[in-house]
Amino acid sequence: MPTRARTQYRCSECGADHAKWSGRCDVCGEWNTIAEERDGSRTSRKRAGGGAGKSGRASGADANTPFTGAPARLATVADTATERIATGLSEFDFALGGGIVPGSLILVGGEPGIGKSTVLLQVAAALEAAGRPTLYVSGEESPVQVKLRADRIGSSALDVPLLAETDVATIMDVAAAARPALLIVDSIQTVYSADLEGAPGNVGQVRECAAQLMRFAKESGVAIALIGHVTKGGGIAGPKTLEHIVDTVLYFEGDSTLEHRVLRATKNRFGSVDEIGVFRMTAEGLEGVGNPSALFLSDRNAAHASGSAVTALVEGSRPVLVEVQGLAAKSGYGTSQRVATGVDGKRMAMLLAVLERRAALPTSALDVFVNVVGGARVHEPAGDLAIAAALASSVHDRILDPRHVFIGEVGLGGELRPVTQLERRLAEAARMGMTTAFVPERGAPRGVGALAVRPMKAIGDVFAAVGA
Ligand code: TYD
Ligand code: MG
Residue 63 lies in a domain: no
Q: Whose CA is nearest to atom 23 of ligand 1?
A: 285
Confidence (pLDDT) at 303: 58
pLDDT digits (tens, 9 = 90+) for 330-382: 887 778 899 999 999 999 999 999 999 999 999 989 999 999 987 788 989 99
Nearest to 462 by CA among 426, 429, 436, 427: 436
Domain at 442, CATH number: 3.30.230.10
Any ligand 1 atom below 6 A from CB of 283? yes
- How far apart are the CA of 357 and the centre of ligand 2, in A? 50
Testing ligand 1's pocket by substitution, the residue of 108, 118, 141 carrying the most ligand atoms inside 8 A of its CB is 118
Residue 44 has pLDDT above 50, yes or no: no
Ligand showing the shortest atom-to-Cα distance for residue 140: 2
**Side chain identity, residue 251:** Y
Confidence (pLDDT) at 301: 62
- Which residue intervals of 236-361 are DSSP H helices? 241-245, 292-296, 345-358
Any ligand 1 atom below 6 A from CB of 75? no
Do 140 and 94 lie in a common domain? yes
Q: How confident is the model at residue 65 (pLDDT cuts 50, 70, 90)?
A: low
pLDDT digits (tens, 9 = 90+) for 232-263: 665 655 556 688 899 999 988 876 667 788 89
Residue 68 lies in a domain: no
Compute CA distances 277 → 219, 254, 317, whole Å. Answer: 29, 12, 11
- How far apart are the CA of 160 and the centre of ligand 1, in A? 17
- How far apart are the CA of 140 and the centre of ligand 2, in A? 7
Confidence (pLDDT) at 66: 59
Do 119 and 22 lie in a common domain? no
Domain at 236, CATH number: 3.40.50.300
Q: Which helix (H) or strand (E) holds 460?
A: helix 459-466
251: left (phi over 0), alpha (psi -120 to 50) or beta: beta
The environment of the single-atom ion ligand 2, i.e. residues with CB closer than 5 A, is 117
- How far apart are the CA of 33 and the centre of ligand 2, in A? 25
Do 116 and 147 lie in a common domain? yes
Residue 150 lies in a domain: yes
**Where does a domain end: 267, 290, 313?**
290
Residue 108 has pLDDT above 90, yes or no: yes
Do 13 and 110 lie in a common domain? no
Higher-scoring residue by pLDDT: 35, 228:
228
CA–CA distance, 104 with 246 (Å, rounded to integer): 8
CA–CA distance, 138 with 238 (Å, rounded to integer): 19
> What's the per-residue H, E or C state across 215-226?
HHHHHHCCEEEE
E-only strand ranges, 302-450: 308-315, 318-330, 338-341, 366-372, 404-406, 409-410, 416-417, 436-440, 447-448
Q: What is the mean pLDDT of the chain?
A: 85
Residue 49 has pLDDT above 60, yes or no: no
Nearest to 337 by CA among 319, 356, 316, 363: 363
Do 273 and 413 lie in a common domain? no
The number of distinct structural domains making up the chain is 3
**Side chain identity, residue 13:** E
Atom of ligand 1 nearest to the CA of 119: 2
CA–CA distance, 377 with 41 (Å, rounded to integer): 39
Residue 65 lies in a domain: no
Q: What is the mean pLDDT of residues 90-102?
A: 92
Higher-scoring residue by pLDDT: 173, 74:
173
**Where does a domain end: 290, 318, 352?**
290
Do 282 and 310 lie in a common domain? no
Residue 202 has pLDDT above 90, yes or no: no
Within a 10 A sphere around the Cβ of 133, how many other Cβ atoms? 17
Residue 60 lies in a domain: no
Nearest to 420 by CA among 446, 448, 439, 447: 439
Do 266 and 315 lie in a common domain? no
Do 352 and 262 lie in a common domain? no
Do 208 and 308 lie in a common domain? no
Do 283 and 402 lie in a common domain? no
Residue 67 lies in a domain: no
Residue 74 lies in a domain: no
Where is average pLDDT lowest: 122-126, 293-297, 412-416? 293-297
Q: What range does the domain containing 28 cover?
A: 6-39
CA–CA distance, 273 with 265 (Å, rounded to integer): 5
Do 265 and 321 lie in a common domain? no
Residue 61 lies in a domain: no
Do 313 and 395 lie in a common domain? yes
**Where does a domain end: 271, 290, 309?**
290
CA–CA distance, 226 with 213 (Å, rounded to integer): 9
Q: How many Cα neighbours within 13 Å face the side chain of 284?
A: 8
